[in-house]
Amino acid sequence: MKHQKRECYRSADFQTREDSETAEKVLSGYFIKFEEETEIFPGYFEVIDKQSLDGVLENSDIRALFNHDTSLVLGRTGNGTFIPEVDEIGLRGDIVINQDDPDAIGAYARVKRGDVVGCSFGFIPTKIDTQQREDGSVIDRILKMELLEVSPCTFPAYPKTEIAARNKDYEASKMELLNRRKNELKEKYQR
């Protein structure tokens, strides 16, 4: 099953800082936290596995955007203005703000003042473990992903197209589970 790009929103504890020597402005925070269960929509949950980012940062050019807007690039790994690192908690990163870009300065000011307190990340899941729970809900454990971008953002980033795409994945996952159970029962009773 081919997976589509997803965006995942969470509250964040961003920090702003200004280097006293270079006067660089930096946004820092966790964009992904491992093992935090998120309800995407009623009955469908997602959790990011600790192994999901193994090897992902090598040879990647991940963008740091503002509100998932590709015209508001705050930094990128390719030129060293977005510096991500994976630890036991998740993916944290530093975004070095371009002081010649009024949009980037505005984004920094919004985070500093506390107007923007959320973050999101855009990714394509490449390996998922889907489980149906006793209560009928489904949980996807993202075991591996292609990370495309991270974003400090104002609101949850689930436009209707994303919800539809995820709902389609959810329905396909339910059918896959059902077919797997049918095959297991067939094998069990054909012995």
For residues 91 and 99, give the distance between their C-alpha atoms in angstroms, rounded to a whole number. Answer: 25
The per-residue pLDDT for 50 is 95
Residue 1 covered by a domain? no
The per-residue pLDDT for 11 is 56
The pTM for the full model equals: 0.74
Q: Say how many C-beta atoms besides its own lie within 10 A of residue 99's C-beta.
A: 12
Closest to 56 (Cα-Cα) out of 120, 148, 142: 148
Here the tokens at position 41 are 């929509």
Query: Which one has a higher pLDDT value, 90 or 162?
Result: 90
Residue 105 covered by a domain? yes
The answer to whether residue 16 scores a pLDDT higher than 80 is no
Q: Which domain holds residue 35?
A: 6-189
Percent of the chain at pLDDT exceeding 90: 46
Q: Answer yes or no: are the C-beta atoms of 90 and 32 closer than 8 Å.
A: yes
- Structural domain total, the chain: 1
Residue 112 covered by a domain? yes
- Which has the minimum average pLDDT: 7-16, 40-49, 61-70, 161-170? 161-170
Tell me the average pLDDT of the chain.
82
Kindly report the three-state secondary structure assignment for every residue of the chain.
CCCCCEEEEEECCCEEEECCCCCCEEEEEEEEECCCCEEEECCEEEEECCCCCCCCCCCCCCEEEECCEEEEEEEEHHHCCEEEEECCCEEEEEEECCCCCHHHHHHHHHHHHCCCCEEEEEEEEEEEEEEECCCCCEEEEEEEEEEEEEEEECCCCCCHHHHHHHHHHHHHHHHHHHHHHHHHHHHHHCC
User: pLDDT tens digits for 140-186?
Assistant: 999 999 999 998 888 744 333 333 444 455 566 666 767 777 777 77
Q: Among 29-43, 54-68, 163-177, name the most confident range.
A: 54-68
User: pLDDT tens digits for 91-103?
Assistant: 999 999 999 999 9
For residues 139 and 114, give the distance between their C-alpha atoms in angstroms, rounded to a whole number. Answer: 32
Residue 185 covered by a domain? yes
CA 53, 55, 57: angle at the middle one, nearest 5? Answer: 75
